[in-house]
Amino acid sequence: MKALFNQKLTVLNAGLTSFATNIERAGGSAVAMNWQPPGSGDKQGGMALAGLTNQADIEQANQVAMNRYLAAQPTLVDVMLAGEAMPELAERKLILHAGPPIAWQGMCGPVQGAILGAIVFERWASDIEQARVMIESGDVKFEPCHHYNAVGPMAGIISRSMPVWVVENQTEQGPERVFSNFNEGLGKVLRFGANNSDVIERLEWMGSELAQAMKVAVREMEGLELKPIMAQALHMGDEVHNRNAAATGLLMKQLIPALLSTDLPQDQLKRVISFITGNDHFFLNLSMAACKSMLKAAENVENSTMVTVMARNGVNFGIQLSGTGKQWFQAPANPVNGLFFPGFGVEDAAADLGDSAITETAGVGGFAMASSPAIVKFVGGTPNDATNNSRAMQAITLGGNPAFTLPALNFAPTAAGIDARKVVDNGVLPIINTGIAHKQAGVGQIGAGITTAPMQCFVEALRELEQRRAEQVTL
């Protein structure tokens, strides 16, 4: 003991930084640890975390969910109208939107504007004002895309007459299908709440000529595996969320020969090919569908803490866990820290919006930013920031996806399988790179940046899962 007190001591300080400072002023040596209580200090969340840690059934469940996610083989198999793919849309006036459930009165401007446009597009109303009257009278219903195994970027609107990609997980688990709408391109588009005549005319063309061409092309190809395209795009500078230039090019290499082998009129082929080649984000919706397909395979594994959905509706952020099924855990969406187009600022921005965070949930997008250093010119930061973001996600995931590798990290697999326990324990939030929509309908995209999922979602999810396990023990 005497020898111990005769040595020079170094104090590890896990409290306020000022404690370490006082020790140093007194001539001692102190290391201030970057520590904070789990779950931002939520006591019940901390207790739930403790109850779910080092539990054999939890670890086994997570391994099952992770293996199902890794084994999934999302394949583009068809193009259909949404009402054909999801019969519920044909049976009633139902419109799907991005993110967790939300009532009309609580929706942000872009989502409301997009819904009004969809009603006019469906010819349920002759104009926007009549569409608004229909909504206020309760004639139109709204539900999240995820409730129908579908995803859509930004407002995420899907109505019965819109074409959707049909993506099937072709594994021994069974051919489960997911859906995504088509990408409209940039400018005044429905997903940002625009709903004028140009928007409606474009949607009508997409539902006829474009959908017809894509349908015959997919059938000519006899399906198209999507994971190889995504994997190659990661090696070509994409992260397959906000940057899809390479992925869209790789898709075109498959589509054009298929289209040329059909008997479609030459004028139609020219319009279709011109539209796709003029839209670098055309692959985004397929990337989202592929990610949804992979994560759907991991759903409903009892006791699993793996996150299977992250989505935003422009007001709230919601997640789902494999072990809690379709139950949503929500919190107000965090602000987006990014770059704004000239003339716009944070006061103009809607809150985080869209189903496209399904890409990060599957281990790409913000999790794969190391593969896309050029993305920082769009969302802000430096190439080092992009690399650090990918590394940081390794602290909150169950493992990596060897199908998706990052050249900048010596071809390490992308971090994948978000573990809600690790998020709460480490205080590291899933990072998402995203577009920023103007809070008013129809203005469009006004910037892009980086945001995170709110901690409270994960805390509440763990509390629910721990309660379910406790009830099982009681029974």
CA distance 446 to 353: 13
pLDDT tens, 403-452? Answer: 999 999 999 999 999 999 999 999 999 999 998 889 888 888 888 899 99
Alpha-carbon distances of 74 from 70, 225, 226, rounded to whole Å: 11, 6, 6
Residues 311 and 100: beta-carbon distance below 8 Å = yes
Q: Looking at the 3D structure of the chain, how many domains does it have?
A: 3
Q: Same structural domain for residues 461 and 408?
A: yes
pLDDT tens, 374-399? Answer: 888 878 888 898 899 999 999 999 99
**What's the angle, vertex CA 415, arms to CA 409 and CA 419, rounded to 5?**
155
Beta bridge partners of 12: 31
Domain annotation covers residue 356: yes
Which of 74-78, 128-132, 335-339 comes out lowest in average pLDDT?
Answer: 335-339
Residues 96 and 152: beta-carbon distance below 8 Å = yes
CA-closest candidate to residue 241, choices 184, 276, 270, 280: 280
Q: Does the pLDDT of residue 190 top 70, yes or no?
A: yes
What local confidence, expressed as pLDDT, does residue 90 receive?
95
pLDDT above 70 coverage of the chain, percent: 94
**What is the DSSP-derived secondary structure letter of residue 207?**
I
Which of 34-38, 54-58, 63-67 comes out lowest in average pLDDT?
Answer: 34-38
Q: Same structural domain for residues 223 and 328?
A: no
Give 162 or 39, the one with higher predicted confidence.
162
Q: Does the pLDDT of residue 172 top 70, yes or no?
A: no
Q: Which of the listed residues 289, 318, 353 is the one where a domain comes to its end? A: 289
Q: Same structural domain for residues 128 and 267?
A: yes
CA-closest candidate to residue 49, choices 462, 472, 464: 462
Q: Which of the listed residues 289, 320, 350 is the one where a domain comes to its end? A: 289
Q: Same structural domain for residues 285 and 378?
A: no
CA quadruple 318, 323, 327, 333: dihedral, nearest 10: -10
What local confidence, expressed as pLDDT, does residue 162 receive?
98
Q: Same structural domain for residues 116 and 195?
A: yes
Q: Does the pLDDT of residue 315 top 60, yes or no?
A: yes
Q: Same structural domain for residues 331 and 445?
A: yes
Structure tokens at 235: 């090696």
CA distance 276 to 183: 9
Which alpha helices (H) appear in 7-108, and where do they start and end? 17-25, 43-52, 56-71, 82-85, 87-91
Query: Residue 45's pLDDT band (boundaries 50, 70, 90)?
Result: confident
The whole domain housing 274 covers 74-289
Q: Does the pLDDT of residue 475 top 60, yes or no?
A: no
Structure tokens at 329: 């855990």
Which alpha helices (H) appear in 76-160, and where do they start and end? 82-85, 87-91, 109-121, 128-136
- CATH number, residue 54: 3.90.1700.10
Which of 40-54, 251-265, 321-335, 400-414 comes out lowest in average pLDDT?
Answer: 40-54
How would you class 342 by CB atoms within 10 Å of its CB: exposed for 0-12, middle for 13-18, buried for 19 or more? exposed
**What is the DSSP-derived secondary structure letter of residue 190?**
G
CA distance 329 to 317: 8
Q: Which of the listed residues 256, 289, 322 is the one where a domain comes to its end? A: 289
Q: Please report how the helices 266-277 and 245-260 are oriented relative to each other, as an axis angle in degrees rounded to 10.
A: 170
Mean pLDDT of 250-279: 96
Average pLDDT value over all residues in the chain: 92
Which of 102-116, 177-191, 267-281, 429-443 comes out lowest in average pLDDT?
Answer: 429-443
**What is the DSSP-derived secondary structure letter of residue 306?**
B
What local confidence, expressed as pLDDT, does residue 50 receive?
93
Residue 266 CB partners (closer than 8 Å, separation 6+) = none
3-state secondary structure of 405: strand
What local confidence, expressed as pLDDT, does residue 22 receive?
74
Q: Same structural domain for residues 178 and 304?
A: no
Q: Same structural domain for residues 50 and 102?
A: no
Output the pTM of the full model: 0.92
- CATH number, residue 166: 3.90.1710.10
Q: Same structural domain for residues 31 and 150?
A: no
Q: Same structural domain for residues 328 and 429?
A: yes
CA distance 473 to 407: 47
Residues 86 and 95: beta-carbon distance below 8 Å = no
**What's the angle, vertex CA 461, arms to CA 458 and CA 463, rounded to 5?**
110
What local confidence, expressed as pLDDT, does residue 95 receive?
98
Query: Residue 283's pLDDT band (boundaries 50, 70, 90)?
Result: very high
What local confidence, expressed as pLDDT, does residue 382 receive?
86
CA quadruple 56, 58, 64, 65: dihedral, nearest 10: -170
Q: Same structural domain for residues 116 and 224?
A: yes
CA distance 135 to 115: 9
What local confidence, expressed as pLDDT, does residue 181 receive?
98
CA quadruple 163, 231, 399, 435: dihedral, nearest 10: -50
What local confidence, expressed as pLDDT, does residue 251 receive?
98
Q: Same structural domain for residues 320 and 458?
A: yes
Mean pLDDT of 46-67: 95
